[in-house]
Amino acid sequence: MAVRNYTFVTEFFLTAFTEHPEWGLPLFLLFLSFYLSTLLGNAGMIILIQKNRRLQTPMYFFLSHLSFVDICYSSVIIPQMLAVLWEHGTTISQARCAAQFFLFTFFASIDCYLLAIMAYDRYVAVCQPLLYVTIMTEKARVGLVTGAYVAGFSSGFVRTVTAFTLSFCGSNEINFIFCDLPPLLKLVCGDSYIQEVVIIVFAIFVMPACIVVISVSYLFIIVAILQIRSAGGRAKTFSTCTSHLTAVALFFGTLIFMYLRDNADQSSEGDRVVSVFYTVVTPLLNPLIYSLRNKEVKEALMKSLTSKISGMP
């Protein structure tokens, strides 16, 4: 029986977008501007919610945590991507790769759970308005957010430990913007069936479970809206959900395209473009979506800007 020789990998070489060296500087400047805008927009949203009394509601409490997670989420990915573009490829140790994968899974899972919680919040507000204050107490919303963080940590920890008990061999090149599961699985040698099953099972508790909660919540919301007799009342009620629906469509749409399909059908070029959307573009757009499509946020922002301008000498 022939013995196969493997060269085991202890570090990885990230090479995303380096096949076009002339794109390096323009992409570096573009993603740097996106990152700074993401930090500014999400930090601004958190400060605005904290300082404005009209925004001290459960929905904006969840939104402030979503903004915080988006800052952390993008900070795990974009600085590494900027280093890859600046250096035309960069080496990352297996330990750092595992840490990045854990943090990405941790914050991405929390993002999923928060979007599901916000869908439930909209369901209670629309379908049970008289009980909204009773159901969405401070204790309840703190408990929901704490549960999202704990569940996100558990998912990230189990998936990371399971993924990095695999053996990687052969080429150490990852043609991707960060240490993510699909490109890592392409470097696995030996039998990985059990580990992949564990990873998939824990993934089911995040994305599909959250999609079910969001879908059921909006099914009840749509039924409730259709029962409103006036067209104006229906439009006003639905408008309170459009910002959240837009954010859900952007985030889950790209995640579904990336993870809920056959690995054999995935191309590196397509994967990199999709990954830019859910790691770079979505955290950038969330503050814009919730400010431009939300009357209360726009009014709070205008009031804050007006007070600052009037206070200038």
Alpha-carbon distance of 58 to 56, in angstroms, equals 7
pLDDT of the residue at 199: 72
Count how many domains the chain has. Answer: 1
Whether residue 299 is contained in a domain is answered as yes
Residue 180: give the domain boundaries: 11-310
pLDDT digits (tens, 9 = 90+) for 143-199: 999 999 999 999 899 889 888 888 787 778 888 888 887 788 778 887 777 777 777
In a structure prediction context, what are the per-residue pLDDT tens digits for the chain, which is 313 residues long? 344 445 667 788 888 777 777 777 888 999 999 999 999 999 999 998 888 888 888 999 999 999 999 999 899 999 988 888 888 888 888 899 999 999 999 999 999 999 999 999 999 999 998 999 999 999 999 999 999 999 999 989 988 988 888 878 777 888 888 888 778 877 888 777 777 777 777 777 788 889 999 999 999 999 988 888 887 777 777 777 888 888 888 888 877 777 665 555 454 666 777 788 888 888 998 888 887 667 777 777 777 667 656 555 4
Whether residue 5 is contained in a domain is answered as no
pLDDT digits (tens, 9 = 90+) for 2-27: 444 456 677 888 887 777 777 778 88
Q: What CATH number is given to the structural domain containing 114?
A: 1.20.1070.10
Collect all residues with Cβ–Cβ distance below 8 Å to 304 and sequence separation of at least 6.
Answer: 48, 51, 52
Whether residue 6 is contained in a domain is answered as no
Whether residue 19 is contained in a domain is answered as yes
Collect all residues with Cβ–Cβ distance below 8 Å to 78 and sequence separation of at least 6.
Answer: 31, 34, 35, 38, 279, 280
- Closest by CA to 64, choosing from 126, 2, 104, 118, is 118
Report the chain's terminal Cα–Cα distance, integer Å. 86
Whether residue 3 is contained in a domain is answered as no
Alpha-carbon distance of 129 to 38, in angstroms, equals 33
Collect all residues with Cβ–Cβ distance below 8 Å to 269 and sequence separation of at least 6.
Answer: none
Whether residue 252 is contained in a domain is answered as yes
How many distinct helices (H) and strands (E) make up the chain? 12, 5
pTM: 0.87
Whether residue 4 is contained in a domain is answered as no
Whether residue 1 is contained in a domain is answered as no
